[in-house]
Structure 1
Amino acid sequence: MSRVWLITGISSGFGKAITEQLLEKGETVVGTVRTKKDDIKALEEKYPDNLDVEHLDVTNTQEIREVVNKTIQRYGKIDVLVNNAGYGLFGAAEELSDKDIDLIIATNLTGSIQMIRAVLPYMRAQKSGHIIQISSYGGQVAYAGNSLYHATKFGIEGFCESVAQEIAPFNIKFSIIEPGGARTEFRYGSAHVANLMPEYDNTMAHAFLKMLDPENGLAPGDPNKMASRIIEVADKDATQLHLVLGSQALQATIDRLSERLNEYQGEKDVAKSTDIEEDK
C-alpha cells in the first residue's frame, strides 16, 4: 500500500515539485492550496486515484483540523506531513505594516505549528509517522531586510526541535529542511515587499531588491533536485534533524554557526561570574 502524504502549499515551488515526483512513484498525496491553478487541475485529472486537492488557508486553525480529519477518515492514516506553505516578506522592520507582521506569523509560524499539532494525535496512535518541516537556511542565518521572515523560521525551528524530542518515544520522525535560494516563485512571484522608505535606500535593508530582480542572476538551487532530496529523507530509517539544501546555503550556515560559537566561547568568564557562589 502506498504511503499517504499530506502536503501544504502544492500550487507552486517545493510543494508542487514534491507532489509531482510522488505521484509519478505511485504514492498518495493529499495536497492543499489556497487557489487551485490550472496545472494542479491537470494533475488531478492525470492522477485521479492518487491525488486529493483540498482548499486550505493555513491561518485558519479550524480548516487545518478539518483537512487532517478528512484525510484520516478517507485513508485511515497519515504517513508523512510536509509542512510547506509559506512565503517571504522583505523590507526593513520599520517599513512593515502591522498587517504584514500578523499575516506572515500566522502563515509561516502559527500555521505550521497548528498543522503539526493536528496530525500528532493520529501519528501517535498509529505509532509511526514522519513530519517534514520546510524551513530555510534563514532559520539559522539572518540578513537585513528579512527580519519577520527570519523570526518565523527561527521560531518554527525552535518549536520543531522541542517537539521532535517529545514525539520520539512514539516512533515519529522529524526533519527540518533548510533550503537555500531556489528557482521558485518564492523570489520571483510570491515574494511580498513592504512599502519601502527612501531613508533605507542604499543600505543593507534594501539589498534584497537586487536578489529579487532576475536580471541580476537566478538563484542557484534546482527545486526538482531539492524535492528529490526531501523525498529521500522520508525513505530513510534514520534521519538527521536538520538538512541544508544548496552549497551556498550550507557554507553560509557553517560560517554563521562558527561565528556564533566563537562568540559564546569568549563569554565563559562573564557567564560564570553570574553564578551563585556556594559556601565552602
Structure 2
Amino acid sequence: MAGNVWFIIGASGFGKAIAKEALRRGDSVVAVSRRGTSLKDLESLGAMLLDLDVTSDDTTINGVFQAAIDKYGKITHFINAPGYLLEGPAEGASSKDAFDSINVNVLAIMNLTRLEIAYLRPRKSGYIANFGSVGSWYGGSAYSHYSAAKWAVSGFTESVHEEVKEFGIHATVIEPGYFRTEFLHAEGTNRKVVSNVLEAEYKGSSVDIVRKALIGINNHQPGDVVKGAKVIVDVLTGSGVATGKEFPIRLILGRDCMDGIHDKIARTEKLIKEWEDVIVSTDHDDVQRA
C-alpha cells in the first residue's frame, strides 16, 4: 500500500506545484480537474490523472474518489483548489455570474469537503486543505464576488477544523497572497469578467484602477509558487518547516498577505475603539450593570 496519497482537485497553478512537490518526495498523487487528463506533464512524473467537474453530484464525485482508492488503496490528503476570479463591478454581475462563482468557489468546496470527511472519519486520520486567499481577509473594488467566496471558504474551513479534529482529521485553509501562477492570465480559465463591465460608467473609479493593477501585477507577483508548495507539503506532513509547530487552522503564505492581515487587524481595532461605547450600548440594561 502506498504511503501518502494526495488527491488534488484543481491541479493547475498551486495545485500543480503541490502535486510536483509531493511526487518529488516519493508520494502518490491523483491530479484532478475538469480537464485533468490533459495534465500530461504531471502524468509523466507519475501522477494519476482524472477528470471531474467539481459541481457534479455525489455519486460522480465518490466514483472519482473510488478510482483513486482502487489504484492506491487509500487517500490520505485532499487538496481542494478549484475556483476562479470574477472580476468587475458588483453592479455588472448577472445573477448567473454570481451563482456560478459561488457554486464553483464555495458550494463545490463545501460539498467536496463533506464527502472527504465521510471517507476519512472512519479511518480517524487524514488531511483536508481548502484554498482561501488574501481576499479571505478584506474586500475591495472589482473583486467583490471573489472576496465573498474566499471569506466563506475560510469561515467554513475554520468551522470544519473544530468539528473533525477529535476524529484525527486535520483541516486547514490555505491563504496565499499574490503568487506567480497563471491565475491572472486573461486567456486562462481562472479569470473571468462580469457580464456587463460598465467600462464607461466606472472609468477612472477604484474598479478601473484595480482592474489595471491586476493586469500590471500579472507575471510580477511576489510569491514563488514552488516555495509555497514546499511549505504546504511540509505543513500537511508535519515535516520540514512545520516540525514541532502546532497544525495551523489558517496557513498564510506571502509577505503581502501577512502585511494585509496586519493592516486589517489594525483597522478593525481602530474601528472597535472608536465605536466601543456604541457597540456595548446595545446590551440589555441588566447585562450592562453586571
> Would the TM-score normalized by the shorter structure come out above 0.5?
yes
Deviation at 1:122, TM superposition (A): 1.9
Whole-angstrom CA distance in 2 between matches of 1:36 and 1:277: 60
Match of 1:222 among 221, 224, 233: 224
Read off the aligned partner of 2:151 and give its amino acid letter: F
The CA distance in 1 between the partners of 2:214 and 2:123, in whole Å, is 44
Q: SS at the partner of 1:15? A: helix
1:137 is aligned to 134
Q: 2:48 corresponds to which letter in structure 1?
A: D
The question of 1:31 aligning with 2:28 is answered no
Q: Distance in 2 between the 1:215 and 1:259 partners?
A: 25
* 1:5 aligned onto 2:13: no
CA contact (8 A) 1:8 1:31 kept: yes
Gap change, CA 1:91 and 1:235, over 3 Å in 2: same
Question: For the aligned residues, what is the CA RMSD?
Answer: 2.0
CA contact (8 A) 2:184 2:218 kept: no
Q: Does 1:58 align with 2:58?
A: no
1:1-280 → structure 2 map (5 Å cutoff): 1-10=2-11, 12-36=12-36, 40-47=39-46, 51-62=47-58, 63-188=60-185, 189=188, 190-194=190-194, 195-197=196-198, 198-214=200-216, 218-236=220-238, 238-278=246-286
| Counterparts in 2 of 1:262 and 1:183: CA distance versus 1, 3 Å | same
Task: Give the aligned residue type for 1:156.
Answer: V
Deviations along 1:157-187, whole A, 9 cap, x unmatched? 1111111111111111122111111111111
Letter in 2 for 1:258: A
Assess if the C-alpha contact under 8 Å between 1:90 and 1:208 holds in 2: no
The one-letter amino acid paired with 2:50 is E
| Aligned partner of residue 99 in structure 2, secondary structure | helix
Offset at 1:68?
2.4
Structure 1 residues 216, 133: closer, same or farther in 2, change over 3 A? closer
Closer/same/farther in 2, CA of residues 124 and 276 from structure 1, 3 Å limit? same
| Residues 205 and 76 (structure 1), Cα distance of their counterparts in 2 relative to 1, 3 Å cut | same
Contact 1:64 / 1:114 at 8 angstroms: preserved in 2?
no
Structure 2: where are the runs of 5+ without partners? Answer: 239-243
Percent identity (aligned): 35
CA deviations on 1:127-174 (whole Å, 9 max, x unpaired) are 111111111010002111100001100011111111111111111112
Question: Letter of the aligned partner of 2:43 in structure 1?
Answer: E
Q: Which runs of 5+ in 1 are unaligned?
A: none
Conservation of the 8 A alpha-carbon contact between 1:5 and 1:80 = yes
Which TM-score applies when normalising by structure 2?
A: 0.88
Contact 2:179–2:221 (8 Å) recurs in 1:
yes
Instruction: Tell me how far 1:206 sits from its aligned partner.
Output: 2.0
The one-letter code matched in structure 2 to 1:61 is D
| Cα separation, 2, equivalents of 1:119 and 1:212 | 34
Cα-to-partner distance string for 1:211-264 (whole Å, 9 max, x where unaligned): 332588711111111111111111227312112211112101110122112212
Q: Is the 8 A contact 1:91 1:196 kept in 2?
A: yes
For 2:241, the equivalent position in structure 1 comes to: none
| Aligned counterparts of 1:46 and 1:9: Cα–Cα separation in 2 | 17
Q: Name the CA distance, whole Å, in 1 between partners of 2:261 and 2:278.
A: 26
> 2: CA distance between counterparts of 1:149 and 1:46?
33
